[in-house]
């Protein structure tokens, strides 16, 4: 217990020492991210409004009165067109609260048309007229940078943001904003009483709140990607966001002492928190152990013993909560029922499997008996008593073997004797049309196999391979394969036409095959019986041989050096 407690306390004390060093940086980072998000929001709003003005100016370029100025020669018509342009920009400026003025300069008439907001002064309007008519219009080549962005110009002690476009006929249209118009919105960002929000250009010069920057020796870094500290006597945390519409950016400067004013309280809380946490953890652990861990541990131990096969286990009665008492009683009752149910299900499965095996073994088709009786009738009419006697004896042996429905296994010797007996019947039915041969080592003849496992595939080869046109050869080969596992291999091969298209695919998917000859149940029957007896340890592989014929390979698990086949649940001995 003490070791566990020390494992908790020592890291907590180390964390306190580390947190006192790291807390300041974390707080700085959080404050910087918060103010940066605020600046980003305001910057996006400002850029969006400036972009709306840009879109209007682009539309004004295609205004009919402005474009007709190039072709109008009548002074009266030019005056009327200029008047309509003045009315247009006077109405438009009301849609854009961010700007202080709109202008259109027609150098051919030396006419300067403008519209303004009431917050602008006469000095602002005169400064902008002088800037457009005396500076922008006299440039031999338009400043492409100014055509792409809002740029900053200074006239006297005033700083302006200007957007100007020069047309092909040297006419100039644009808009302007006095930088002081940004002062009130920047104050609303809530930086703090001693902090400030500043509008600065791309060269690091302050446009708005210049006195704050000068008095505190603030450095504006337009290229800074994260927060930084600046200021001489008082330190400020600075974050900035450049504008995407002009050559300026928004910057917030937060006093560092305002950020860290709550850290002493945080340090005290951080110091006391580990000790309080240790006490709470200790009490909580004791309570948790008594009410939850011990009852669960008893339940887990009982379940582990049950998993090992001890179904007689019960949870002993201990003082515990009412909920766990209900769980324990329910678990004990459930185990008693499971034990009884398992015995019943096991007996039922054994009976069901036995019935199913017997049913599969007795699924014998009547056409073989009918054809054999017809053969006997023919031999009787021909008075061939010797072959008729032999056929009758073979048929008796056939029936005796087929009706051994109470046996799940027979020796391989008995199975092969039955197959030879069956093939003799077919040779009597089809003289000179069938050749049969088999190969089996003597040490395998006592191996127990399911009855009819070889017969079913031989019968299938006779049924689908024997014709009256060409003789058919059927070979049965048995051998033991020791790698990678010891198995008994049964291979039945014929020289007939082989499997029809789709038969192999259907049998591999455990589908019964039905064609114009009826339902082919033999191979499917064997596969189901092998699955019941061996599970996934047995396999049946079908393929067509080259150039013709069918090949069936059956593998059964075989215990090495014992001559026994392995079945589910144990080993079967002869």
Sign of CA dihedral 400, 403, 406, 412: positive
* Measured distance CA(474)–CA(435) in Å, rounded: 6
Phi, psi angle pair for 221, to nearest 5°: -115, 95
CA dist., res. 4 & res. 258, Å (int): 41
* Mean per-residue pLDDT of the chain: 80
Q: Are 156 and 179 in contact (CB under 8 A)?
A: no
- 450-482: per-residue pLDDT in tens? 888 899 899 888 888 887 778 899 999 999 998
Structure confidence at residue 62 (pLDDT): 86
Euclidean distance between CA atoms 447 and 245, whole angstroms = 92
Give the whole-angstrom CA distance, residue 574 versus residue 555. 19
Out of 25-39, 360-374, 418-432, 452-466, which region has the weakest mean confidence (pLDDT)? 360-374
Q: Average of pLDDT values for 415-422?
A: 93
Per-residue confidence (pLDDT) for residue 511, from 0 to 100: 79
Q: Has residue 103 got a pLDDT over 90?
A: yes
What global pTM score does this model have?
0.44
Strands (E), 396-469: 410-411, 434-439, 448-449
Q: Is the pLDDT of residue 17 over 70?
A: no
Helices (H), 93-227: 122-131, 144-148, 183-187, 210-215
Task: For residue range 152-192, list pLDDT tens digits in order.
Answer: 898 888 999 999 988 888 889 999 999 888 776 666 666 76
Chain-centroid distance of CA 154 in Å reads: 58
pLDDT band (50, 70, 90) for residue 146: very low
**With contact defined as beta carbons under 8 Å apart, do 520 and 514 qualify?**
yes
Name the least confident of 213-227, 248-262, 370-384, 443-457.
Answer: 248-262
| pLDDT number for residue 115 | 94
pLDDT digits (tens, 9 = 90+) for 335-364: 777 777 777 776 666 556 555 555 545 555
| CA-based nearest residue to 281, from 6, 20, 19 | 6
Does residue 78 surpass a pLDDT of 50? Answer: yes
**How sure is the predictor about 10, in pLDDT bands with cuts at 50, 70 and 90?**
low
Q: What is the rounded distance in angstroms from the CA atom of residue 492 to the CA atom of residue 477?
A: 7
pLDDT grade for 100, boundaries at 50, 70 and 90: very high
Domains and CATH numbers, the chain: 264-357 (no CATH), 362-572 (3.30.565.10)
Burial class (CB in 10 A: 0-12, 13-18, 19+), 574: middle
Residue 559: Cβ-neighbour burial (10 angstroms; 0-12, 13-18, 19+): middle
Reported as a single tens digit per residue, the pLDDT across 225-245 is 888 888 888 888 888 889 888
pLDDT at 174 (0 to 100):
92
Cis previous bond, 547, omega within 30:
yes
Q: Which residues contact 297 (CB under 8 A, 6 or more apart)?
A: none
Q: What CA–CA distance (Å, rounded) separates 181 from 187?
A: 11
Decide if pLDDT at 541 tops 90. Answer: yes
Q: pLDDT band at residue 280, thresholds of 50, 70 and 90?
A: confident
Q: What is the rounded average pLDDT of the residues 520-549?
A: 85
- In this prediction, residue 274 carries a pLDDT of 66
Query: What are the CA-CA distances from residue 459 to residues 201, 330, 369, 385 (Å)?
Result: 98, 57, 13, 26
- Asked if pLDDT for residue 369 goes beyond 90, the answer is no
Which residues have a Cβ under 8 Å from the Cβ of 348 and sit 6 or more positions away? none
Query: For 255-274, what is each residue's pLDDT tens digit?
Result: 877 776 655 566 566 667 66
Alpha-carbon distance 422 to 394, whole Å? 7
* pLDDT (0 to 100) of residue 289: 73
CA angle 436, 441, 443 (to 5 degrees): 140
Distance CA 136, CA 151 (A): 12
What is the distance between the alpha carbons of residues 486 and 561, in angstroms, rounded to a whole number?
Answer: 9
160 neighbors 201 (Cβ within 8 angstroms):
no
Q: In terms of DSSP bridges, do strands 248-255 and 196-201 run parallel, antiparallel, or are they unpaired?
A: antiparallel
- CB-CB contact of 574 with 567 (8 Å): no
More confident residue, 298 or 363: 298
Q: How many CB atoms lie within 10 A of CB 198?
A: 24
- In terms of average pLDDT, the best of 24-28, 30-34, 109-113, 291-295 is 109-113
Cβ contact 195:179 at 8 Å: no
Residue 404, phi then psi, degrees to nearest 5:
-80, 60
Flag whether pLDDT at 284 surpasses 60: yes
Provide the pLDDT confidence category of residue 509 given band limits of 50, 70 and 90: confident
What SS3 class is residue 463? Answer: helix
List Cα–Cα distances, 80 to 65, 86, 521, in angstroms.
9, 10, 103
Percentage of the residues of the chain whose pLDDT score is greater than 90: 20
Lowest mean per-residue pLDDT among 369-378, 471-480, 533-542: 369-378
The DSSP result for 93-124, as a single string, is GGG-TT-SEEEEEETTTTEEEEEE-TTS-HHH
Per-residue model confidence (pLDDT) at position 359: 52
CA distance 495 to 438: 14
Choose from 174-188, 395-409, 435-449 the range with maximum mean pLDDT.
435-449
Q: Which of 106-115, 296-305, 333-342 has the highest mean pLDDT?
A: 106-115
């Amino acid at each position: 217990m003490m070791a566990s407690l020390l494992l908790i306390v020592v890291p907590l004390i180390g964390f306190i020492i580390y947190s006192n060093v790291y807390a300041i940086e974390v707080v700085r980072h959080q404050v910087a991210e918060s103010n940066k998000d605020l600046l980003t929001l305001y910057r996006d709003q400002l850029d969006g409004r400036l972009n709306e003005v840009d879109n209007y100016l682009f539309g004004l370029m295609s205004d009919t009165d402005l474009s007709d100025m190039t072709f109008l020669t009548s002074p009266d018509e030019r005056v009327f067109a200029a008047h309509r342009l003045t009315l247009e920009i006077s109405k438009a400026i009301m849609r854009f609260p961010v700007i202080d003025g709109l202008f259109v300069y027609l150098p051919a008439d030396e006419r300067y048309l403008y519209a303004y907001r009431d917050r602008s002064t006469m000095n602002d309007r005169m400064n902008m007229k002088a800037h457009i008519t005396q500076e922008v219009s006299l440039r031999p080549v338009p400043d492409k940078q100014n055509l792409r962005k809002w740029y900053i110009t200074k006239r006297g002690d005033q700083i302006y943001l200007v957007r100007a476009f020069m047309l092909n006929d040297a006419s100039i249209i644009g808009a302007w904003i006095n930088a002081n118009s940004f002062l009130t919105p920047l104050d609303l960002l809530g930086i703090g009483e001693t902090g400030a929000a500043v509008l600065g250009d791309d060269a690091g010069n302050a446009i708005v709140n210049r006195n704050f920057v000068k008095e505190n020796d603030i450095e504006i870094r337009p290229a800074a990607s994260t927060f930084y500290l600046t200021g001489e006597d008082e330190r400020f945390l600075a974050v900035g966001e450049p504008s995407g519409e002009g050559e300026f950016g928004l910057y917030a400067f937060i006093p560092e002492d305002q950020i860290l004013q709550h850290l002493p309280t945080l340090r005290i809380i951080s110091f006391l928190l580990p000790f309080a946490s240790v006490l709470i953890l200790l009490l909580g652990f004791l309570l948790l152990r008594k009410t939850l861990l011990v009852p669960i541990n008893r339940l887990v131990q009982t379940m582990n013993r049950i998993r090992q096969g001890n179904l007689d286990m019960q949870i002993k009665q201990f003082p515990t909560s009412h909920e766990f008492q209900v769980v324990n009683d329910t678990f004990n009752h459930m185990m008693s029922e499971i034990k009884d149910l398992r015995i019943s299900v096991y007996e039922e499965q054994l009976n069901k499997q036995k019935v199913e095996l017997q049913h599969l073994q007795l699924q014998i088709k009547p056409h073989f008996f009918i054809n054999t009786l017809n053969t006997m009738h023919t031999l009787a009419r021909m008075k061939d008593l010797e072959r008729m006697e032999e056929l009758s004896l073979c048929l008796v042996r056939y029936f005796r073997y087929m009706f051994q429905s109470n046996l799940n296994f027979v020796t391989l010797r008995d199975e092969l004797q039955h197959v030879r007996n069956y093939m003799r019947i077919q040779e009597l039915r089809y003289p000179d049309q069938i050749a049969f041969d088999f190969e089996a080592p003597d040490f395998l003849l006592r191996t127990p196999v399911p009855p009819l496992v070889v017969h079913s595939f031989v019968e299938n080869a006779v049924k689908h391979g024997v014709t009256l046109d060409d003789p058919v050869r059927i070979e049965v080969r048995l051998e033991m394969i020791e790698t990678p596992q010891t198995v008994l291999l049964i291979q039945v091969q014929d020289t007939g036409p082989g499997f029809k298209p789709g038969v192999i695919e259907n049998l591999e998917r455990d589908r019964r095959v039905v064609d114009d000859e009826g339902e082919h149940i033999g191979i499917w029957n064997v596969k189901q019986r092998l699955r019941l007896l061996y599970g996934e340890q047995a396999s049946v592989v079908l393929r067509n041989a080259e150039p013709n014929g069918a090949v069936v390979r059956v593998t059964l698990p075989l215990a090495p050096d014992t001559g026994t086949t392995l079945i589910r649940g144990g080993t079967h001995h002869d």
